Structure 1
Amino acid sequence: MQISFVRLPSYAGIQLVSDPHMVDVIEDWSKVRSPARAARRRRHGHPQRIRYREVPKPGFLHLPAQNLIVAHPETIAGLQARLKDHTVLRRDGEVLDTLLGQRR
């Protein structure tokens, strides 16, 4: 397996780095009929219907010395969407203030 980093555009001088390996592994017990019985039998080595799934980590790593933010691609996409929405709202507010003659 090869680790590959894709640099995305920066935000306020901080580089956003996408890392697909930033995931949390969770156990999915939804196919288990009785979780208590399955846990008990699991301790004795019997196979169970437990699935392991990878979900993106909701957080990110901020490395101030390298001026980087490292996160899962889905987390970065959500961050960029929120930044874009915020930028659009701010720009619209500035346009309205200009039209109405108000100062910020």
Structure 2
Amino acid sequence: MVSVDHTVWATPDRETAPDDVVDRLLWQDARDILGRHARPSRDGGCGGCGGAWPCHSRRVAEHALAASRRSWREGWTARHDLNSVRRLLSTN
């Protein structure tokens, strides 16, 4: 049997995931992206990327945050979507 430690250690800039979170790394990654796309700017676009509010990155991160509390299958799909957003953001 394989055992994996999914513990995300709390540091000054990172908090520990709640007990009901199944995929702690997905939860933390989603929180990081949500933090960068937290609110609309004065012109109504995303304050993080300038896209229409709520931007694609925020919507994907919200889905990933919810999926981090569900079965591994939903987390797997959400992780793929979240990584796609990260790749897109890193090329801009």
- One fold, TM greater than 0.5? no
Task: Give the TM-score of the pair, scaled to structure 1.
Answer: 0.29
Which structure's residues are more often helix, by fraction? 2
Task: Give the TM-score of the pair, scaled to structure 2.
Answer: 0.32
Larger Rg computed on CA atoms: 1
Which structure's residues are more often strand, by fraction? 1
